[in-house]
Amino acid sequence: MGMSFDRYMRDMVQPMRDELTELGIRELKTPEEVEEVLPTAKGTTLVVVNSVCGCAAGQARPGVAHALQHEVKPDHLCTVFAGQDKEATAKAREYFAPYPPSSPSIALLKDGELVHFIERHQVENRSAEEIAADLTDAFDRYCR
- DSSP codes joined into one string, 75-125: SEEEEEETTTSHHHHHHHHGGGTTSPP-SSEEEEEETTEEEEEE-HHHHHT
Residues 6+ apart with CB under 8 A from 25: 46, 48, 64, 77, 78, 79
Residue among 41, 55, 56, 135 flagged as catalytic? 55
pLDDT score for 116: 98
Task: Give the DSSP H or E segment for 46.
Answer: strand 44-50
Phi-psi region of 80 (alpha: psi -120 to 50; beta: other; left: phi over 0): beta
Q: Is 55 a catalytic residue?
A: yes
pLDDT score for 38: 97
Q: What is the pTM of this model?
A: 0.95
pLDDT score for 132: 98
Domain boundaries in the chain? 1-143
Q: Is 53 a catalytic residue?
A: yes
pLDDT score for 115: 98
In terms of Cβ atoms closer than 10 Å to its own Cβ (0-12, 13-18, 19+), residue 76 is middle
Residue among 20, 34, 53, 78 flagged as catalytic? 53
pLDDT score for 7: 85
User: 1-143: CATH homologous superfamily?
Assistant: Glutaredoxin (3.40.30.10)
**pLDDT per residue as tens, the chain (144 positions):** 567 888 888 899 999 999 999 999 999 999 999 999 999 999 999 999 999 999 999 999 999 999 999 999 999 999 999 999 999 999 999 999 999 999 999 999 999 999 999 999 999 999 999 999 999 999 999 999
